[in-house]
Amino acid sequence: MYFSVKMEQYSEIALRWRNELLEAAQPEKVNILSSFFKTGKGEYGEGDKFAGITVPSNRRISKAYHAAPMDVLSLMLADEIHEFRLAALLALVARFGKCKDMAIRKQIAQFYIDHTGRINNWDLVDLSAPQIIGQHCFETGDDALLRELVQDNDLWRRRIGIVATFTYIKNRQTALTAELAEMLLNDSEPLIHKASGWMLREAGKRNPEELTTFLDKHAPAMPSTMLRYAIEKLEPDMRRHYMTRRKASS
């Protein structure tokens, strides 16, 4: 029922991994997850399938597979089951974190970029992009990759680009987040508005001046969702001020 890739293609490692995940599945959660991640016709997660595996269970099981061969991770990422793709990403995050060899870390980051076609829902992005792509770019100074990603035609690659800046934010470098959020002001996708606003909010926790400077310049033209996310932690008077400025420009 859950296997979309031919069983004979899977190694013993992958089969054991999948079976462990399925043993932790809670089928009663399938409909809830399918609705939450918008899998209906015309929605951003159209066609995605769930087994009902919670993130804590998935993380607990998958971290043990951090050393799985890359072809196993590729096969897991190719699966139609959402949690199997997440499992591969969680294992990859653990692998990246444990690896100290910069050349291998670069290979892991490239593997991630090569498989973004299968990193195709917001949780898959959010639970892996900062830890792999954000960390890789921060360590190597390769900001150009993130600029390239936020200009991509693919929704999920754009989200990877902006969410990956969370690593910079955690290291108290917030200018890149503001730069990329500015590039995304005219994006048509609500999921990008949410991600950009979220990153601006996080940047504002570390550097309030960066956030207010951005808002002073862009609040009137910001998508309402991006603005609401960005100002969520500001004082009520400031929230009203920026919302009023946006409404006045509408």
Task: Note the pLDDT tens digit of each residue in 66-82.
Answer: 999 999 999 899 999 99
Q: pTM value?
A: 0.94
Instruction: Give dist(CA 94, CA 105) in Å, integer.
Output: 11
List the structure tokens of 12.
């013993």
How does residue 246 score in pLDDT terms, banded at 50, 70 and 90?
confident
Identify the pLDDT of residue 105: 96
DSSP state of 49: B
SS3 93: helix
Do 45 and 35 touch, CB atoms closer than 8 A? no
Give the domain ranges of the chain: 1-98
The DSSP secondary structure of 142-202, one letter per residue, reads -HHHHHHHHTSSSHHHHHHHHHTTHHHHHTT--HHHHHHHHHTTT---HHHHHHHHHHHHH
For 203-232, letters b (16+ CB in 10 Å) and e give: bbebbeebbbebbeebbbebbeebbbbbbe
Q: Which residues contact 98 (CB under 8 A, 6 or more apart)?
A: 66
SS3 2: coil
The answer to whether residue 7 scores a pLDDT higher than 70 is no
Amino acid, res. 109 = A
Q: What is the pLDDT of residues 34-90, one digit of tens each?
A: 999 999 999 999 989 999 999 999 999 999 999 999 999 998 999 999 999 999 999
